[in-house]
Amino acid sequence: MKYVDEYRDGALAKGLLRAIARAVRADRSYAFMEFCGGHTHAIARHGIIDVLPQNLRMIHGPGCPVCVLPMGRLDAAMALARDPAVTLCTYADLMRVPGSHGETLIRAKADGADVRMIYSPLDALGLAEANPERQVVFLAIGFETTTPPTAAVVKAAEAKDLRNFSVFCNHVLTPMAMRAILEAPAHGEEAGPRLDGLVGPSHVSTIIGTDPYRPFPERYGVPVVVAGFEPVDILHAILMLVRQVNDDRAEVENQYVRAVTAEGNRIAQALMAEVFEHRESFEWRGLGTLPDSALRLRPRFARFDAERRFDMSSSGGRDHPGCACGAVLRGRLEPWECKLFGRVCTPDTPIGACMVSSEGACAAAWLHGSRSHSPDVPEEVSHV
């Protein structure tokens, strides 16, 4: 596939690995966080951790939308799915995430709830048009990448004056989560890891551009390199980070120049700004309640807001007591440091969200482990 295969080229990767090996200094270590779950998945899938120098560590970040969705909102979605008038539509990733009582949307569907797995928000809109007698709710999650499509269907619903379509909006904002990671204390319960650099997300950055990352080098002295999704992109970004650290520089750099600009996609930004406004605060699994970190529909679109249409008082759900997702999402614990990892919790029997989504750190660690121990295992988690 064009614009994919070139960036999986073995010769290019080898050249980059040699360059990284030469660039790293023996007298220090390097700890970089890949913010985005897509990068976490790619690093595991392509075995990148195995080929990096010993003193260079990649720490997984919280950039997995399903993983950071707190239990209370998940339980609310589950309750909505059980409403006989409702057709609940959502992305595949959310279907298998266990709620407070281990219940999932897949289970609810098997029990008769009208839950639909969709590829695009356009599918949810189509369902609403085709079934005027049903209340079609789109359970929207994701960072800035999936937000403009949600905005587009809300506008379309307004234009078509659809009375039976609404959005349960859980869209969250990348820069605030990055800030939370960088501001985490060094010690204690809520501690974060020591970081020498951040690999910035690929497709979030196509939308927001690289400018929103500028405060991070300035305020926290941590370099940010926005990287594409392929292994060559990731290695290239790691090399750029190593060089910044060695030169004592902290800047925002862009490895993914073929798709990302400093200012981002203005059309998509305008669409988001028209439909959404910032929530005062929002709860994230693992990161706690962060101000200004999520979106809701503007008053103009209030009639498409599921939180206003339905009674959705939060049940304040609780994570499984043994699940260490929160610490994993903060980059504090490695997935295998969770007592349940691989024993009780596997992709087939997930206990926490981080094991469900292919972008989750636990699912990535499992995939990487099973691949490196027995290379013949078919890929359980595959991405196009």
Residues near other proteins (CB under 8 A) are 1-4, 6, 11-12, 14-16, 18-19, 22-23, 36-38, 63, 65-66, 91, 93, 119-123, 141-143, 145-146, 148-149, 152, 156, 201-204, 206-207, 229, 232, 236, 255, 257-260, 265, 267-268, 271, 357, 359, 383-384
Tokens of 367: 């995939």
Is position 52 an interface residue for ligand SF4 (rule: CB under 6 A)? no
Q: Does 72 bind ligand SF4 (CB under 6 A)?
A: no
Per CB under 6 A, does 338 bind ligand SF4?
yes
Which partner in other proteins, ligand SF4, none is near 15 (CB below 5 to 8 A by kind)?
A: other proteins
Backbone angles phi, psi at 287, to 5 degrees: -100, -10
Cβ at position 115, least distance to other proteins in Å: 17
What is the C-alpha separation between 180 and 266, in angstroms, rounded?
26
CA of residue 23 relative to chain centroid, distance: 30
Which of 241, 345 has the CB closer to ligand SF4?
Answer: 345
Q: How far is the CB of 64 from other proteins (least distance, A)?
A: 9
Measured from the CB of residue 347, what is the shortest distance to ligand SF4 in angstroms? Answer: 10
C-alpha pair distances (Å), 8 with each of 235, 335, 375:
11, 26, 18
Give yes or no for residue 68 binding ligand SF4 (CB under 6 A): no
Binding flag, residue 341, ligand SF4 (CB under 6 A): yes
Q: Name the nearest CA neighbour of 153 among 29, 294, 304, 42.
A: 304
Question: Please, what is the minimum distance in Å from the beta carbon of residue 258 to ligand SF4?
Answer: 34
Distance CA 208, CA 202 (A): 10
- d(C-alpha 141, C-alpha 223), whole Å: 28
DSSP 3-state of 107 = helix
We find the least distance from the C-beta atom of residue 357 to ligand SF4, in angstroms, to be: 10
Ordered DSSP codes for 260-294: --SS--HHHHHHHHHHEEE-SEEEETTTEEEET-B
What's the rounded Cα separation, in Å, for the pair 272 and 373? 44
Give strand pairing partners of 72. none
Query: Can you list the alpha helix ranges (DSSP code H) found in 28-161?
Result: 37-45, 48-51, 65-68, 71-81, 92-95, 105-110, 121-130, 147-159
340 binds, among other proteins, ligand SF4, none (CB under 5 to 8 A by kind): ligand SF4
Quote the CA–CA distance of 273 and 383 in Å, as a whole number: 30
d(CA 168, CA 40): 27
Report the relative pairing of strands 135-142 and 165-171 from DSSP bridges.
parallel
Q: Which helix (H) or strand (E) holds 198?
A: strand 197-200
Q: Tell which one of 33, 68, 354, 364 touches ligand SF4 (CB under 6 A).
A: 354
For residue 333, the minimal CB distance to ligand SF4 (Å) is 8
- CB 325 → other proteins: shortest distance, Å? 17
Which positions from 203 through 242 interact with ligand SF4, judged by CB under 6 A?
none
Smallest separation, CB 348 to ligand SF4 (Å): 12
| Binding-site partner at residue 317 among other proteins, ligand SF4, none, CB < 5 to 8 Å by type | none
Task: Tell whether residue 252 is a contact of ligand SF4 (CB under 6 A).
Answer: no
Counting contacts by CB under 6 A, is residue 345 touching ligand SF4?
A: yes
- Binding to ligand SF4 (CB under 6 A): which residues in 301-330? 323-325, 328
- CB closer to other proteins, 236 vs 296: 236
Q: How many CB atoms lie within 10 A of CB 15?
A: 15
2 binds, among other proteins, ligand SF4, none (CB under 5 to 8 A by kind): other proteins
| Shortest Å distance, C-beta 376 to other proteins | 25
Residue 276's DSSP bridge partners are 297
Q: In whole angstroms, give the CA distance from residue 322 to residue 155.
A: 42
Using CB under 6 A as the binding criterion, the count of chain residues that bind ligand SF4 stands at: 14
Please identify, using beta-carbon distances, which residue of 63 and 212 lies nearer to ligand SF4: 63
Residue 70 partner contact from other proteins, ligand SF4, none using kind-dependent CB cut-offs of 5 to 8 Å? none
* Contacting positions for ligand SF4 (CB under 6 A): 323-325, 328, 335, 338, 340-341, 345, 351-352, 354-355, 362
